[in-house]
A and B are shown apart, each in its own frame.
Chain A
Amino acid sequence: MSLLEVTGLKKIYKGRRGGASVEALKNVNFTVEKGEFVAIMGESGSGKTTLLNVLAALDKATSGTVILDGMNLSTIKESAMAKFRRDNLGYVFQDFNLLDTFTLEDNIYLPLVLAGKKHAEMKARLDKLAPSLGIADLLKKYPYEVSGGQKQRAAVARALITDPRIILADEPTGALDSKSSDELLDLFSRVNQMGQTILMVTHSTKAASHASRVMFIKDGIIFHQIYKGSSTDTQMYQKISDTLNLLAQGGDLK
């Protein structure tokens, strides 16, 4: 069984008072296996953020099912949703979403504290995680004192520390300079090699080229997907830009 199964997913935003409604997701079907690093690409307005929000249980689908590790998201009650998210998902945001009133350490602890974990256990987990993310020396600093790349690494640590079944990343390199972007993507690759499943939404070809599989979304459906297989990052980069070119010209790949 796949880790994540998405079938017939549909999301319609109703216009107010009978205004025109928008179909953000038409009919999305895909699966993600355990240990995969999947990127979803698409232009602005293609529905990729909506898809991620539905997967993260931040938004409810109009119809269709999302099954994560055997659990059907649509059957989870609103009140249990936050707990589900906390225990099973790790979210990495474009703009980091670190709390400026906390040190990096406390930011990373936040989901664990919300889950009611003991301090000793939290510390043990962080001690294991921090060196591999290169933030061991920064833990006592506040977000405003560190660079964007460092912030994003702390955000990754916050996502990883709960040992989630899947990491959802929304344009994680969107607010970073190119050097920081490279570092972060390398980090994702390493984390993925350790067995962590990652689903990343991006419109950066560079970012997508690190993934083992890239799905293209357009007008609310999964339009196409390519596997990295044994190709290098550079070859993958080429494949992706070719596909994007075709997509932009409105070509039919099927």
Chain B
Amino acid sequence: MKLGLYPKIAADGIRKNGRLYMPYIFTSILMIAVFYIMHLLGFSEMLQNFEGASTARDILKLGTRIMAVFGTIFLFYTQSALIKGRLKEFGLYSVLGMNRKNLGRVIFYEMLMTWAISMTGGLLAGIGLSKLAELGFAKIIGAGVDYSFFISGDSLLCTFIVYSVIFFLIFLNAVRQVRFTRTINLVHADKAGEKPPKANWVIGILGLVILLTGYTIAIKIDSPLSALFWFFIAVILIIVGTYLVLIAGSVLLCRILQKNKKYYYKTNHFVSVSSMAFRMKRNGAGLASICILLTMILVMISSTSALYFNREETLRNRYPNQLNVTTTKNGYVENYKEVVSKIESDVAKMAEENGTATDNVISYCNYSLSGYYGDNKVDIDLDPYSTLSTTLDYDRVVQVYFFSLEDYNRLCGENESLSKGEILLAIDGKLKVGDELAVGNESYKIAKKINFRNSNLRLAIASNVVSTFFVITEDLNGTVYPFKDHADFSGNSILTWNYNYDFDTDLDVDGQVALSKILTGYMQNEFLDQDFYRSLCFCREVERDDFVHTFGGLFFLGILLSIIFLLSCVLIIYYKQISEGFEDQSRFAIMQKVGMTKENIKKSINSQMLTVFIIPIVFACLHLATVLPIVHKLLLLFGHNNIPLLVICAGICVLACGIFYAVTYKLTSNAYYKIVS
């Protein structure tokens, strides 16, 4: 054989199987382009305007790795689908006298060509789109825009190496596939007889039960801390349930429909129901995977977009005023009133020196301790590591804040009074308390339960991660005095004293930043020793950048990964349908001979296709709806508490996915129709 023969056969193979190869090459190109872009934005030192945005860039670095792993898995999967579709052709070659080595050579040239096309196209597309992506990234994270054009040699090289390795692995896999198949099987690869699927009641019902259990857990979760653990349980149950339901449950459903003679023996249902039973047996797992992938996309993009679009509100919840002077001391502070008044007067003085008054001042201090709640008592002697790790009962962890009545009346504009031994109690969380509350060995009579949600008191908690008690008492130091010698497992006092002084200024952004630096310097000089372990001044304008970079980075990564995942999902479905189209060719030919009209064929294809397309997205939406409450609780950890926005973001994501889906559905069903008729 001449040397030129193999490349020629390979090129022919790609050209003749264009319907299979085109989407494959297209996806490879896109993956390579996205990998290049992520690498460029994440790693390249050339992009000066992102220097400050290290968090966002770290997130993209992570994304680059995800892309490498996902690219490998996905390209492996589609390539083996491609090879399967061509086993017959290879079988013919081997009947004509090619040995496995020759076949390997054909495959090698095919891979070489797809690799060359994908790599060239991918790198060119990556370079072409990189500026666009860079501008988008800059816009999202609020960095400066720079109109010079960069091509990063490092990123090109890295992309080239990573995807060349992936392609090489895929090549080895393809050779393995062909080598370990016997010639006769190559020829008859797609003719293997198939048993009709059996309805498996046990697995079907088990799947449904597991799925519903997962749903119930997901809906029932209360606290984000326990959510983390139960979240994983729920996710695993939902994934397993999805697989079982789609594999066994759907066959079961088809069988039940077949039993219903009136429904089954209708022109529209007859063909689709019976072939669906076969289809689901083979594709149940594939559809379940697509469904899980879709759910991931929806959760990822709706949560990151909700975080991103809510960044200002999150920021303002965390930093209600322009500047926040804060100090924290471990243990009992005998002279806290002196400390407070010193900070108050000094800060006011320094603000004045910098040409501004202090407006909207919110000044308060509190003691906090944490314990384990049960039966109207907060137990403060339990070792949390030994207790909690075995019970995982995070729902009973409680944070207790002690405020003075004076601060409370001032902050909330109330005029309450308390006698000795009496407290006001505010509860955040689902814990129930009777008329009395005991903390350690001290017990208090609850004079009144108050709601703090709409008052300035809510600012005292950064996020409602665990349940919280607010205990308001007449004599603050007197109340916490009994706990002063309690030590936690690491030997520190369980009491922590916090002081916050929030205020606005008349200064512009630069002025605020300058003042915050001065105040930080002052606080650290005066109030930073081993007991005062955190004394500084936060400036909202400085923190804003950090918020925007983190949330923007996540959002940008979410968008890129979603695009890739979504495209992959759709491509998997496309391949499934195309390969089924070839299998169904003869079936539809028979039905036409028996008297099926073209219109019947179209209808039956549409109903089949619609089911195959719609099942994953319907399940994905169901999954999304049930995990959304947990997602909300996890977002609380970021300080995000905007349920309507989250729901709107989820809705828009579902809609966008749906539209994208509908378009591919149309394209795929047209391709399918062309094959079978």
Contact = CB atoms under 8 A, between A and B. Distances in A.
Interface of A: 56, 58, 79, 82-83, 85-87, 91, 93, 97-102, 106, 109-111, 113-116, 118-119, 122, 142, 144, 158
B598 interface: yes
14 contacts: A58-B593, A79-B598, A82-B596, A82-B598, A86-B594, A97-B590, A97-B593, A97-B594, A102-B274, A110-B594, A113-B266, A113-B267, A122-B265, A144-B193
Contacts of B278: 101
A93 B595 contact: no
Interface string B161-201: 00000000000000000000000000000000111100000
Contact of B595 (A82, A99, A106, A142): A82
Contacts of A85: 593-595
B597 A99 contact: no
Given A91-B593, A114-B591, A115-B595, 13 more contacts: A82-B595, A97-B593, A97-B594, A99-B587, A102-B274, A109-B270, A111-B595, A113-B266, A114-B595, A116-B266, A118-B265, A119-B265, A144-B193
Interface in B299-317: none
In this complex, which of B262, B590, B592 has the most chain A Cβ atoms within 10 angstroms of its Cβ? B590
Interface in B558-608: 587, 590-600
A101 B267 CA distance: 16
A244 to B, nearest CB: 29
Nearest to B270: A113
Contacts of B451: none
Contacts of A109: 265, 270
A115 B266 CA distance: 9
B420 interface: no
B102 interface: no
A93 B591 contact: no
A110 B587 CA distance: 12
A98 B594 CA distance: 10
Contacts of B194: 100, 144
B265 A99 contact: no
A224 to B, nearest CB: 30
B277 interface: yes
Among B278, B592, B596, max chain A CB count under 10 A is at: B596
A93 B594 CA distance: 11
Contacts of B597: 79, 82-83
Q: Which 3 residue pairs across A and B have the least CB separation, nearest first? A: A86-B595, A82-B597, A97-B590
Contacts of A114: 267, 270, 591, 594-596, 600
Contacts of A122: 265
Contacts of A110: 270, 591, 594
B261 interface: yes
Contacts of B277: 101
B275 interface: yes
User: Which of A87, A113, A142 has the most CB atoms of chain B within a 10 A radius of its CB?
Assistant: A113
A191 B188 CA distance: 37
A114 B274 CA distance: 14
A26 B261 CA distance: 49
